[in-house]
């Protein structure tokens, strides 16, 4: 997927709130919208290199959106939380997600139970599969972790997927790691034990739990290969 741009190199200064950052662009402090509400404490460090794009609209309060950050490892990390859904849609159409190669997108943004899921898929035998995509940016060592902040909504999603399996649907959670420097993905139990428990229980109930990582550049982000999902 091509990243919206052009992108401008800046330096991170501060984060006044979850969705607002201040960066230094061409020697001047400017405000930039942050699309990722996660903690991002290991990424958004004073002076770290970030990339912003110009954005406009009647409801906007800033002229820029923070799009990429350079991790301590030197990897580019995408902070656009909607990007994984677009990458997954493209990958599904091209059969690049091996575990879901027999499934086709029927609808997007599907309400089931008390939750809205990213995709409803179907196969040639008219079976249906609910797919929820989770954007991952936190990596410790070489392990990707989700979430990086407590997410009651995320725990509810996976619990409802387990209910859907009990009702005869197929279901899957797909962790998309928006960086390349990870060799596995797991639930961040130390951050959100309730989500970790919910994911383990959902997996035991028959929910597929998948992980894929991306290669991110200044121009595009691409799902490149599968990662093992570890349960501890």
Of 18, 35, 70, the position where a domain reaches its end is 70
Same domain, 60 and 125: no
Same domain, 40 and 92: no
Q: Are 141 and 194 contained in the same domain? A: yes
Residues 61 and 88 in one domain: no
Q: What are 150's strand-pairing partners?
A: none
Residue 57's pLDDT is 79
What distance in Å separates the CA atoms of residue 31 and residue 16, rounded to the nearest whole number?
A: 10
For residue 27, the enclosing domain spans 7-70
pLDDT, residue 232, reads 74
Is the CB of residue 106 less than 8 Å from the CB of residue 117? Answer: no
Q: Answer with the one of 48, 70, 92 that is the final residue of a domain.
A: 70
Residues 58 and 97 in one domain: no
Q: How far apart are CA 225 and CA 108, in angstroms?
A: 23
Q: What pLDDT does 214 receive?
A: 95
Q: Is residue 76 part of a domain?
A: no
CB 174 within 8 A of CB 210: yes
What pLDDT does 3 receive?
85
Same domain, 124 and 60: no
Task: Give the separation between CA 74 and CA 139, rounded to whole angstroms.
Answer: 13
This prediction's pTM: 0.94
Residue 3 CA to residue 149 CA, distance in Å, equals 25
141 and 211 fall within a common domain = yes
Contacts of 196 (CB under 8 A, 6+ apart): 187, 188, 189
Determine the pLDDT at residue 25: 97
d(CA 102, CA 214): 22
**Does 1 fall in a domain?**
no
- The pLDDT value recorded for residue 1 is 79
Query: 90 and 58, same structural domain?
Result: no
Residues 192 and 125 grouped into a single domain: yes
Q: What is the CA radius of gyration of the chain?
A: 18
What span, in angstroms and rounded, lies between the C-alpha atoms of 44 and 66? 11
What stretches in the chain show pLDDT beneath 70?
A: none
| Domains: count for the chain | 2
What integer best gives the mean pLDDT of the chain? 95
């Amino acid at each position: 997927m091509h990243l919206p741009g052009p992108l401008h190199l800046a330096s991170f200064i501060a984060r006044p709130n979850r969705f607002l950052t201040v960066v230094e662009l061409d020697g001047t402090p400017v405000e930039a919208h942050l699309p990722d509400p996660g903690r991002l404490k290991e990424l958004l460090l004073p002076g770290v290199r970030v990339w912003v794009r110009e954005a406009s609209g009647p409801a906007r309060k800033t002229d820029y959106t923070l799009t990429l950050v350079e991790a301590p490892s030197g990897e580019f990390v995408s902070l656009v939380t909607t990007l994984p859904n677009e990458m997954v849609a493209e990958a599904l159409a091209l059969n690049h997600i091996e575990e879901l190669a027999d499934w086709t997108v029927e609808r997007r943004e599907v309400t089931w139970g008390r939750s809205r899921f990213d995709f409803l898929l179907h196969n040639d035998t008219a079976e249906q599969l609910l797919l929820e995509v989770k954007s991952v940016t936190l990596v410790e060592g070489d392990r990707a972790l989700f979430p990086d902040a407590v997410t009651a909504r995320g725990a509810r999603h996976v619990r409802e997927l387990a209910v859907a399996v009990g009702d005869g649907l197929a279901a899957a959670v797909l962790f998309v790691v928006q960086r390349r420097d990870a060799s596995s993905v797991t639930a961040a139990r130390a951050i959100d034990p309730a989500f970790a428990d919910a994911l383990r229980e959902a997996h035991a109930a028959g929910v597929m739990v998948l992980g894929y990582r991306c290669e991110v550049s200044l121009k595009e982000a691409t799902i490149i290969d599968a990662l093992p999902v570890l349960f501890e």
